[in-house]
A and B are shown apart, each in its own frame.
Chain A
Amino acid sequence: MMKRTPNRRREPLTDTMLLVTITIGIFFAMYFSAMAIWGGGFLRWQRVFDMLNDNAALIIVACGLTIVMIGGGIDISVGGVIALVVMSCVVHLNSGGSILTAALLALGIGLAFGLTQGFLISYLEIQPFIITLAGMFFARGMTTIVSVQPQKVAHEGFKALMKTKIEIPWLGYIAKKGNLIPARAEIGVVVALVIVLIVFVMLRKTKLGRGFYAIGGNANSALMLGVNVKRTRFISYVISGLLSGIAGFVFMMHTGAGNATNAAGAEMNAIASAIIGGTLLSGGVGNVIGTLFGVLTLSTINAIVTSSGLRDPWWQEITVGAMLCFFILLQSVVLSLRGKGGLKQMLPKWLTVRSKE
């Protein structure tokens, strides 16, 4: 596979990059074939921006989940935290709060969840699934305690913020009347993309970022190499919590209403996106760029199902399920072909709390 000449030796593709490349390739293949078959909306840049607009919050939480999953854990409280943040902020704004305090409230709630869950998981060594499941229950329950009735934002300043859109003329299209309609992106999209970039650089270039890969790959080796495993794990949950708080605020900027069922199933969508993007639940492998494309792939699948005329409500989920199955199988086959049984010992680290001697 590799050339043996010492000076022209190429680094082999890591598992992370291989899976990311596959995902990006499949996304473009899907999108271009959709362009070729259905044309219309798919030919416009606005379609891409619509996907980003609708999924900005999902991208942000998926970034947090990617970090946690790289570290070998899982966080399923994110959907609940989004709902709680949205509901609290809407109630806060409607009772005379300002946008700044609402944003601080969002960050505070996210941080509180991250700190508590991170502490319980890393320092008390409790299984992350159970803790974050309890976190999800707590967040969902608190959402209805804050308000059972759906609430709409009435704050004028915030409404203006919601309507603020960034126009990108050179990616627009000429409408039938001959006037140019620029592509529009919401503020949330900018936030999401900036976060993807920050997380990407952090995972790549910082000591902390490499630490996540180290503890996810093999916590014992990481410990022996001098990584503070507990603190690194703790930080991964704090980041995830903080990002869920930000995602909640972005979600509110998109919908402008608090509802107890907001972001229902967001945790599973985020996990699915991360998996499609090549992050392994077992830890140690993953990349946020892949996650970004995972979110886009999921929403392209939905768009394709809608355009192809399968209008019955069940087709959407069945297709997403089938595609998920396809991606999972593909990754399994690719990785096992590559490492010859590289998938055999793929128990997530957080599940092997009991020593197996």
Chain B
Amino acid sequence: MKASASGFRWGKHAQLLVPLLSILLIMVFNLFRDPSFFSVYMSTNNLGNPVLAGNLISILNGASELAIIAMGMTLVTAACGGQDISVGALATIAGSVFVKILRAGEITMGAIAVAFLCCCVVAMLFGAFNGTLVSVFKIQPMIATLVLFTCGRSIAYWINGGATPTISSPLITAIGSFIPGCPIPTPILIVAAVALILSLIFRFTTLGLYTQTVGINQRAARLNGINPTLIKLASFLVLGVCCAAAGCISVSRLSLINHETMLLEIEMDAILAVAIGGNALGGGKFKITGSVLGAYAIQALTTTLYAMKVPSTDVKAYKAIVIILIVVASSPVVKQAAARLWTKIKARVPAKKEAAA
């Protein structure tokens, strides 16, 4: 970590090392396996528009929902020291509200905006429910969100009266895949927009600092005039909005909602993204960039496995092996052992040089 001489202080960004290295490792593996993995080319989609295609684009595109949810999950993790396992269910509820409202009338830009706002409100209400259990009743986040995890998908099913309705409109397709005339997939643009909004919030408000403070020491935060209850609740509300955005993207991709399979197990991937991103799952300091990189690392791994023609049902097993390798490599014990080894080698090398001289 002595790169400070070059003006770039690693100490501040050391946390990003793990996700970046993971992505790099996957990419290097692909380079040796099949260099054509990296080809990005223009093709035309069904509507005849020129669009970007290729594995790299599909990684960026496919990880959109995960990246958005991981951003919110990072905040909740940092503030509460626990994880929300109801995000998949929450996104499904939001998606189902989105569909319900759009099916009520003609689909126009205005209707989509209204539907999105409504599903944001609904998702924030459920987020507030989780947040209240966690912040006011002081229940561990994982248990508090187990409630919505259990019944969330059923609520989504119930909202649409037990059907899997479809919404078909060029506007919805534009949100889910490509805006005519723009070669970049829309979900990528949405992720960029969400990231921009969040980074503006962190730049111009104290939310980030306060969240970190509450996560590190709640009592100290309270003595400094920060209201931990409010900050925890706020983190759940932000997560709610993230889930709403992810839900809308997911619904728009397929133009239909299947409450059982939509964003299945995304809560697990999101928590994983947070952990790979180098954030402590016990709360405190956090870096949203790390989680987003973690999300892309997970998606890169999945896409690589698909490119290797691994059957979609078997992907999980290989994913698990890589995940274990990553976490073992970044575990404190292994890090210490590596550091000790490094000092030993360092001590030995000059000795040899002296001996040679």
Measured CB to CB, the residues of A under 8 A from B are: 74, 120, 123-127, 129-131, 133-138, 140-142, 144-145, 148, 260, 268, 271-272, 275, 281-282, 312-322, 324-325, 328-329, 332-333, 336, 343-344, 346-348, 351-354, 356
Contacts and interface: CB of A to CB of B under 8 A. Distances in A.
A320 B151 contact: yes
Given A351-B82, A353-B280, A312 B275 contact: no
Contacts of A148: 311, 313
Contact of A353 (B133, B282, B311, B316): B282
B151 A126 contact: no
A317 B328 CA distance: 37
Contacts of B317: 137-138, 140-142, 144-145
Given A129-B281, A353-B282, A141 B318 contact: yes
A271 B146 contact: yes
A281 B142 contact: yes
Contacts of B169: none
Nearest to B144: A328
B84 to A, nearest CB: 13
B98 interface: no
Contact of B333 (A123, A145, A319, A324): A123
A141 B217 contact: no
A220 to B, nearest CB: 15
A314 B155 contact: yes
Contacts of B144: 328
- Interface residues of chain B: helix, strand, loop or mixed (majority): helix
Interface in B249-285: 268, 271-272, 275, 280-284
A130 B282 CA distance: 13
B83 interface: yes
B139 interface: yes
Interface residues on chain B, size class: 35 or more
Nearest to B147: A325
A321 B144 CA distance: 10
Interface in B118-137: 133, 137
Most buried by A among B148, B149, B320: B320
Contacts, number: 169
Contact of A317 (B138, B150, B275, B327): B150
Interface in B307-324: 311, 313-321, 323-324
Contact of A328 (B133, B158, B313, B333): B133
Contacts of B143: 271, 275, 281, 328
A353 B332 CA distance: 10
B140 A321 contact: no
A144 B217 contact: no
A130 B316 contact: no
Nearest to A298: B150
Contacts of A126: 327-328, 331
Interface of B: 81-83, 133, 137-140, 142-144, 146-155, 157-158, 162, 216-217, 268, 271-272, 275, 280-284, 311, 313-321, 323-324, 327-328, 331-334
B282 A141 contact: no
A321 B324 contact: no
A51 to B, nearest CB: 19
Contacts of A124: 328, 331, 333-334
A320 B150 contact: yes
A342 B221 CA distance: 19
B151 A321 contact: yes
A259 B321 CA distance: 22
Contact of A134 (B142, B155, B323): B323
Contact of A133 (B81, B140, B271, B331): B271
A141 B284 contact: no
Contacts of B83: 129
Given A137-B319, A144-B313, A313 B139 contact: no
